[in-house]
Structure 1
Amino acid sequence: MRGLDLVSNRITFSTGYSDNWRIGAAAFHHNMANINLEAYHWLQGPAAEESGDEEGDGGEGESEDQDGSLYQGQDEDENEDANEDEDESEEDDEEEDENDEPQLLPGFTSTIANEVAKRYPKFKPILDGILEGHNIVDMDDYFGIVPSYKRQATLYTLELQVKHNSTPEHWLGAPTHSPEEILALSREYQPWRCCLTGDEIRELNVGAISSRQSASYWKSPHTTKDGEQQYTQGKYRYSAAALAIRFLSRLPPPLRMCLRNIRLNENAVSVAYPECHAQGLIEFCIENPMLHVERRLDLWRNVFQSPSSEMANLTFTFEGRLAWSTSGYDGRGQGLWSLVLTDSIALWVTEALALIPLGMPEKSYTLVLDGGDVPQQCSDIFQTIVQRDAAWQTAWEMMTSDTFSEESFFTKRAHHCYRFEGFPDAVNEMVNSPSGFIQCTFDTGPAVWNAEVEFGKYRHFSLEDSHNLPIANQVFFQPQDPLPSWIDLHIENILPEFFTDQHLIQVDDTSEWLIHELKGAWDDGYEDQKKQKEEKKQEIAKAKNERTNREMERLSRGFSFFDIN
């Protein structure tokens, strides 16, 4: 009977690694991180340089927004208390410093912001802050917004900027991806793309702003001309979800309808925002209501080691993570930091919950936090740290309605006690409904932390003291036996050659691949660069069409044994 094996058996995918995939995966990760950074920065930028205000019709430090209203530059830090007894000269110095700060313009209008808010209402405070002239895009913070939601809202804002031609003219012509290019690349290259070809990496490289976006960067261990070793020997992997999506997209629909159970074994760190990759499974779960996907996350080998912020993604290398982790007194490294621990779990949990409003059938998907060989330790960590931090977020939200009600949205959301909107409710649901949408292979325990009690203990804290609460109570964990030490877990993700006395190539301005990758980035000949980019795009498009035709021919032959009419 056709498809019986698919009906009867579960298909399992694990995090994918090979020496050939490693280079492409590393380059893809850094392309995704940098393209997202570029998209966000197109929303806000500097005002045009002025030669002088000879007509006297514009005050220094003022700028006109897209709707004609005036706004001042970034306000003084809301966390600073003015001291009335300060020396007058110090006040003059501070005023001069404020005047020296660059004026920031939005790339969009308030009309566009209102339009974006209809589709992405939680992004509206970000847009309002940009319109008010606050330096928002340089802040490395999600502000409690689900990261994939924030990225999608950014792209939609950029799309409307392009549609309504609202981007300031003096921003255009920069030697980076244009807004149109960012939108096109983001549509074609979702974070769950995997196993990219050389042509696809080169297509992403056109307009690159970092050498890490090039596959060439990762091929050989090397140093800069100043002798600084570059970290290029990590084992970069594609997520199990990405590999499953690739498989499903190539499987004929009649066979996809035979599938019943898929397990995604995310047993190692993977690239390009893996916490959101299940979004690529939604269409298949809608297509086949009888399909159930279980995504299992290895806490110690995946979640606890994964980057959990935009800056961490931009700078991510396995060797860099190892270097940070090796500082300690017992030779085993300082261990897993409690602050990062909760950030990582909160990230994966909130991204999973974001699947439902995107259309994922609730009964078609389960996220499982896997404690592996140390379930008791994971249970202890969950009860003592994760539950505590969830209670502290609720307590902080109570404080923002009481003592700190006048603080800005950004002060409230960038607080160390605030992770993501809805995170405390998600933790409570995991405790009270262990067989729900998000499950654990370890005992989540009873709810041992009470937000009301925590609020009573800390309600009189200053803003600074409350912000530092998770750091003042920080803990570092070493994995228990039989797991390796925290350092050795990191070493698992690095090629053995890194730890040998290997030859390092010195890369300088005469290195052929570096010249190729940076060509146009620093040149004045923008028109020549633009022409080269268009020629390269045409070459890549032709190659992709030829490859697609070959793949379709192979698929038509390869699936003939299934007897599909």
Structure 2
Amino acid sequence: MSLTGLPRELRDAIYIYYVTEEDGYHYDLSSGKLRTSTNERIDTLSLMHVCKGIASEMRGVHFVNNTVHFSTTPLPTDRGSSRARHHGYLLEDLYTAKRLVLPWVRQYISNDIAQRVIDRFPKSEALLRHLMSTKRRICQGFEQLGKSGDWGQAPSFHRDTIDELLNLVAQTPAVGELTRKVLERQGFRFRHEQNVASLYQLHPIAWRLPNKQESKIVEDQSPIGPHNPWRERVRDRTRYYISAASQAADFLSKLQQQHRVHIRSVDLHETHAAISYPECHARALIPFAIENPKLKIIRYADLWGGVLTSLQSARFEEHRSDPGQGVGPMRTMYAWELTKTIAPWLMEAMALHPAGMPAKCFTLVFKGEPELMQPILDIVIEDAAWQDALQTKSDRQEQPPVPDRSGTGYKRHSCYQFEGFPGLMRDVIAGNGSIQFNNCSAQGWDIEELFEANPGCSDTADWNEAWQSMRLQAVVPPAPQTWDAILSDYVQEKDDA
């Protein structure tokens, strides 16, 4: 009996068995194609070529029954010039330049401009009102303009807010010359006859895979930052990584809709620190999740290798760029930096659903060995408890607080992480929500016990000082791992002695 002569139910079972790969499909960046877990070509679709009837019955079966995996991958050296490989730094320099200009252009923020920005980014209202009602020297004096958590926004939405605001303000002719003066005082340079205001027309998308042409446009229209020949030399010898999420978005955008709507499961493996604000790259997948309600996305972030290393890898590059320090030990990470390094990932994951990600479609999972994970989660939960207590302390404070010019009140304190942080961690502890820490256990906290344990803290400033004192210890990976071993993955070739 031929295959077509079998009952449909039996044929379907054969199709599923035939196409299913034990470890699913794995994306290969160099070829732009899906392969098996052993990097072999997928041959299971050849059955579809037997006849049109079987091809019709098998349509989409392979995607329905195989998880599609994407993993952080080194940026290929043939993807354009060395500046293309430094695309992430171009974006960071561009954002830095815009943020430096922001306090100086506040006089050009009209009520109409402010309302247009607020309509698009509702959580930006406090920031806009602060800029419009505060003197420039005060705005300059407080770095909170760059701290998205203080203003209730995820970092990428905070950057988008500043980007949109400056784009509207730059329509005033005087802003171009003002921009030149401000940035030149900060050590930036502009090319001959460069249209300074053109930098406000740049809206690079962080998760888009960089290519030579796009990077050149950003480079040509951006101001030139202070030159450091040692840093450029080191960057040419640094291995940069592309996030799994950005690769997934690129692959799905090139896959025809009639095929991608059959995908049911996508696993993103963020094993290394990647370029261009990788914590926000899952935003690129929102349109595909809306298009395909049955799609389930799990983003696995290696807590040490992919998240905490984002801070240390940047320091590692700076360390290698300094001829006076590159031969000595590198500065370590401290406990007060842990939650602040993890926080952008938490904030971006929280922002996905309000931005359009369907409910229960996306999950962020921090992963690692139990002995590596548990100490970090304990600190994160303790920080959530201290922020919860800080907020309660502010509400209970009998004396009027010291006049605050930052615009953020008690949120300016370093023990404040971001809006909604305590509630988020309660959900994590309860096993609710879209964020998980693998191989960990956790318990809640009691604010009153914290207050009793710190009787000398009479106001929010005391509370913040106590938290800072508690977080001065150094943090290193448990043996046999070391920072040197982890960071060796980011060296393209051995540095000269």
Q: TM-score normalised by the shorter chain: which range applies?
A: 0.7 to 0.9
Distance (whole Å) between structure 2 residues aligned to residue 209 and residue 377 of structure 1: 41
Query: Is residue 2:317 matched to residue 1:319?
Result: yes
Picking from 260, 280, 284, the partner of 1:280 is: 284
Partner of 2:135: 133
Q: How does 1:283-298 map to 2 (within 5 A)?
A: 283-298=287-302
Distance (whole Å) between structure 2 residues aligned to residue 25 and residue 461 of structure 1: 52
- Give the SS at the match of 2:258: helix
The answer on whether the counterparts of 1:334 and 1:476 sit within 8 Å (CA) in structure 2 is no
Picking from 162, 171, 174, the partner of 2:178 is: 171
Q: Flag structure 1 segments of 5+ consecutive residues without an equivalent.
A: 47-104, 502-565
Normalising by structure 1, we get a TM-score of 0.66
The one-character-per-residue Cα deviations of 1:22-79 (angstroms, maximum 9, x if unpaired) are: 9456421112112222333443317xxxxxxxxxxxxxxxxxxxxxxxxxxxxxxxxx
Q: 1:276 to 1:229 in 2, by over 3 A?
A: closer
The answer on whether the counterparts of 1:23 and 1:236 sit within 8 Å (CA) in structure 2 is no
Partner of 1:440: 437
Partner of 1:422: 420
Q: 1:317 to 1:206 in 2, by over 3 A?
A: farther
Distance (whole Å) between structure 1 residues aligned to residue 161 and residue 104 of structure 2: 18
Partner of 2:99: 40
The one-character-per-residue Cα deviations of 1:78-127 (angstroms, maximum 9, x if unpaired) are: xxxxxxxxxxxxxxxxxxxxxxxxxxx53312342244334333322222
Residue 271 (structure 1) shift: 0.7
Residue 370 (structure 1) shift: 0.5
The answer on whether the counterparts of 2:388 and 2:422 sit within 8 Å (CA) in structure 1 is yes
Q: How does 1:476-515 map to 2 (within 5 A)?
A: 476-482=474-480, 484-498=481-495, 500-501=496-497
Distance (whole Å) between structure 1 residues aligned to residue 269 and residue 113 of structure 2: 41
Picking from 224, 229, 244, the partner of 1:240 is: 244
Q: 1:487 to 1:461 in 2, by over 3 A?
A: farther
Picking from 366, 373, 381, the partner of 1:378 is: 373
The residue identity in structure 2 corresponding to 1:390 is A
Identity rate of aligned residues, in percent?
27
Partner of 1:394: 388
Q: Flag structure 2 segments of 5+ consecutive residues without an equivalent.
A: 1-57, 182-189
- Give the SS at the match of 1:247: helix
Residue 458 (structure 1) shift: 5.5
Partner of 1:88: none
Query: Is residue 2:452 matched to residue 1:453?
Result: no
The answer on whether the counterparts of 1:399 and 1:459 sit within 8 Å (CA) in structure 2 is no
Residue 459 (structure 1) shift: 7.0
Distance (whole Å) between structure 2 residues aligned to residue 485 and residue 31 of structure 1: 30
- Give the SS at the match of 2:427: helix
Picking from 182, 190, 198, the partner of 1:181 is: 198
The answer on whether the counterparts of 2:179 and 2:197 sit within 8 Å (CA) in structure 1 is no
Partner of 1:203: 217
Aligned residues: 412
The answer on whether the counterparts of 1:223 and 1:230 sit within 8 Å (CA) in structure 2 is yes
The one-character-per-residue Cα deviations of 1:264-305 (angstroms, maximum 9, x if unpaired) are: 100000011111110010000000111111100001111112
Distance (whole Å) between structure 2 residues aligned to residue 342 and residue 172 of structure 1: 34
The answer on whether the counterparts of 2:265 and 2:296 sit within 8 Å (CA) in structure 1 is yes
The answer on whether the counterparts of 1:376 and 1:443 sit within 8 Å (CA) in structure 2 is no
Residue 488 (structure 1) shift: 2.1
Distance (whole Å) between structure 2 residues aligned to residue 391 and residue 178 of structure 1: 49
Distance (whole Å) between structure 1 residues aligned to residue 264 and residue 226 of structure 2: 40
Q: 1:209 to 1:406 in 2, by over 3 A?
A: same
Q: 1:400 to 1:263 in 2, by over 3 A?
A: same
Distance (whole Å) between structure 2 residues aligned to residue 451 and residue 26 of structure 1: 47
- Give the SS at the match of 2:443: coil
Query: Which structure carries more helix by proportion?
Result: 2
The answer on whether the counterparts of 2:238 and 2:493 sit within 8 Å (CA) in structure 1 is no
Q: Larger relative CO (CA 8 A, sep 6+): 1 or 2?
A: 1
Structure 1 stretch displaced more, 237-246 or 165-174? 165-174
- Give the SS at the match of 2:208: coil
Partner of 2:357: 360
Q: 1:29 to 1:229 in 2, by over 3 A?
A: closer
The answer on whether the counterparts of 1:332 and 1:485 sit within 8 Å (CA) in structure 2 is no
Partner of 1:8: 65
Q: CA RMSD in A?
A: 3.3
- Give the SS at the match of 2:281: helix
The answer on whether the counterparts of 2:268 and 2:300 sit within 8 Å (CA) in structure 1 is yes
- Give the SS at the match of 1:367: strand
Distance (whole Å) between structure 1 residues aligned to residue 129 and residue 357 of structure 2: 31
Partner of 1:551: none
The answer on whether the counterparts of 2:156 and 2:348 sit within 8 Å (CA) in structure 1 is yes
Partner of 1:157: 165
Distance (whole Å) between structure 1 residues aligned to residue 464 and residue 235 of structure 2: 33
Distance (whole Å) between structure 2 residues aligned to residue 260 and residue 276 of structure 1: 22
- Give the SS at the match of 1:301: helix
Distance (whole Å) between structure 2 residues aligned to residue 178 and residue 465 of structure 1: 49
Q: 1:451 to 1:489 in 2, by over 3 A?
A: same
The answer on whether the counterparts of 1:396 and 1:455 sit within 8 Å (CA) in structure 2 is no
Distance (whole Å) between structure 2 residues aligned to residue 146 and residue 476 of structure 1: 27
The answer on whether the counterparts of 2:319 and 2:330 sit within 8 Å (CA) in structure 1 is no
The residue identity in structure 2 corresponding to 1:141 is K
Q: 1:280 to 1:212 in 2, by over 3 A?
A: farther
Q: 1:348 to 1:458 in 2, by over 3 A?
A: farther
